[in-house]
Amino acid sequence: MTEADDQRLLLAASQGDRAAFDGFVRRHEDAVFRLLQASASCDADAEDALQEAFVAAWKNAGSYRGGPSARAWVMTIARNALRRAHRRRAGEPADFEPIGEMGLQAGWGRDEALEGLARREVLERALGALDGEMREVLTLRDLEGFSGDEVAEMLGISVAAMKSRLHRARLRFVSALREVAHG
């Protein structure tokens, strides 16, 4: 599918075509969820923001007028949904650690069959060691493959600032990866 296909799906959705919107969701939900996971404190927050984002996209499908891409448009909606959710929970502890992750750290369920999971956990922990801005720029540019211009626009910063933030994020990620893997 192309950007033109996304535009047709959103136009049809704005006229009440649920099947067209379902197609748009299927096309972008995995990428949106990956971004939200990278930015959220836990998967539950990412899942809540994902639902809010697509509800908002459904309600505002008629307002999409092109721009960088429909994918970037829905990513921006998702980021805003996550930020709104975070503001609502301002009194929660800053360092919530999911119970499942604590169990893995305690050694429960470890065996050779889980080596792939362990490698993924190392990557996720290294990514989690970055601050939110760094995780966000790294996810959008390196994992989701948005162009530098698209990432800068989504983040509301200049391309030069995005490049600087991305470079710093990559360096910190490699440093965190070494620390998690060896420490």
The domain segmentation of the chain, as residue ranges, is 1-96, 104-183
Is pLDDT of 112 > 50? no
pLDDT given for residue 102 in this prediction: 59
Q: Do domains 1-96 and 104-183 have the same CATH topology?
A: no
Mean pLDDT across 119-148: 88
Using CA atoms, how far residue 132 sits from 38, 95, 101, in Å, is 8, 13, 19
Q: What CATH architecture is 104-183?
A: Orthogonal Bundle (1.10)
pTM metric for this prediction: 0.61
Is pLDDT of 67 > 80? no
Is pLDDT of 89 > 60? no
pLDDT over 90 for what percent of the chain? 42
The class level of CATH for 1-96 reads mainly alpha
Q: Which residue has the tokens 């490049």?
A: 163
pLDDT given for residue 100 in this prediction: 60
Q: pLDDT-based confidence at 90, cuts 50/70/90? A: very low
b/e map 118-145, b = 16+ CB within 10 Å: eeebeeebbbbbbeeebbbbbbbbeebe
Question: Are 77 and 52 spatial neighbours (Cβ–Cβ below 8 Å)?
Answer: no
Is pLDDT of 30 > 90? yes
- DSSP string spanning 85-132? HHHHTTTS-TT---HHHHHHHTTTT-SGGGHHHHHHHHHHHHHHTS-H
